[in-house]
Structure 1
Amino acid sequence: MASPSVQDLLPPSLDSTSQPPSLFDGTTRLYINYQCPYSQRVWITRNVKGLQDMIKLVPIDLQNRPDWYKEKVYPKNKVPSLEHNNKVTGESLVLVKYVDCNFEGPSFLPDDQEKRKFVEELIAYSDTTFVPEVYKSFAKDARTQAGVQFDYLEKALHKFDDGPFFLGQLSQVITIFHFLFLSDNVPSEMVDIIYAPFVERFHVFMPEGFNYDITTGRPKLAKWIEEMNNLDGYKQTKVLEQEKMVGYYKNRFLLKA
């Protein structure tokens, strides 16, 4: 098993001029886009479970995507998707749980029923409320409307107050597993993985777009971001060209006529 501290040699993105890989040849492939936060969720899960050797990254250029991706791989023509056991599955929340349950390594879902219920509530909230409400706030009142959502995260981070993550300390089985077999940087739980890509982007963009720091007055959120940034499996997936990402967000949300 590869260690999460091992840096991937990231392959170039495939575009309309690229030939498809040898599909359904027994190789497990994760189709992603390097800038896509939904893809990043599954990419983090792959990394923190040490599955770099078992799941091959296949990045897709979404601005010039190859026809074969829709025709031969995933008819919905979106990323992420996972080619595994002669089938292709999509949707980031589904895939995070799929990779967690169908590959080796400790589970990122807690055994404790109270924590399990809390995790499921937070995961459901992420894509039904948190992400869309923050994006909608960019066209209205980002400080107020988005602020409500970051207050929600701050409150959630207080529920289990024995550590910096959403469930407090990392589960004992994950900590022991990584101490014995992998690296000093242990992975986050599933709910941390779900939120990290979007908080990363909002944390970078909102000071530029609205002069608004999402961590101001939210010490738990600030500490959570700091601790996430120390995790190797997450660091490897972070947006490399932050200025380009900020420019994309400004063009999409702030420059409309």
Structure 2
Amino acid sequence: MPTLRARKKAARHDAFVDAARRLVRERGLDGVTVEDVCDVVGVSPRTFFNYFATKEDAVLGVPVDTAIGAPQTREAFAAGGPTGDLLEDCGRLVAEILAQDEEGRDELAELLELVHSEPKLLVRHLAWMETQRRALQDLITRREEVRPSGVDPVVTATTVVAMFRAAVLTWRGDATPGHHAPGDPPPDATPATEAGSAVVRCAPHHAPGVFGSPEDAVTHVLAQVRRLAGGTIHQQEAQGAP
């Protein structure tokens, strides 16, 4: 359970984000300063910069510390774990990153709307994604020294970033219904937790926006990537499957 200090820090972080987004919606990004955000929250700019590097980061919710996952998660991944399956472990890493972000579906839709309406936010978002990709590449390179996969870390890191974006879009409700991986339970099946899995397996044929959690969306994306990588699309086409 988070400590009182951690809860207060999280509440202050959320207050900055809420204030920054509201002001940008009202005035536009260029019409908002760090001081404006601080006035709404009731703190000094010095406190603001303990949380965010720029006003753009406050709108995006990108904190000063943008480490990928918890320290123990990073170390377990770099050591070749937790399962030893590179794609599965990448999926778990993405799931943890999403779990750290408590954005609801409505808040996420609002944020994406702001990003697309303000070019500077989009530029900053892309820069943040590249920073994350490079950090992932370094982490994957460490893992390759322990458990070689034969896959270029650049390719793996870029794929993980794409998985993250796909999971976000799927969680928001942009998934196309009727797409599922072979071996999934029938459409009316109840999602069940796989033994030893940190994420919940989703039933197929999802209507947009019906995933129970961001982790469910990651599981869906992971199944789609495995299907693509395994060539099962071509196998089904050859068999005349729908």
TM range (shorter): under 0.3
Normalised by the length of structure 1, the TM-score is: 0.26
Q: Quick one: higher RCO (CA 8 Å, sep 6+), 1 or 2?
A: 1
Q: Which structure shows the bigger proportion of residues in strand conformation?
A: 1
Normalised by the length of structure 2, the TM-score is: 0.28
Q: Which structure shows the bigger proportion of residues in helix conformation?
A: 2
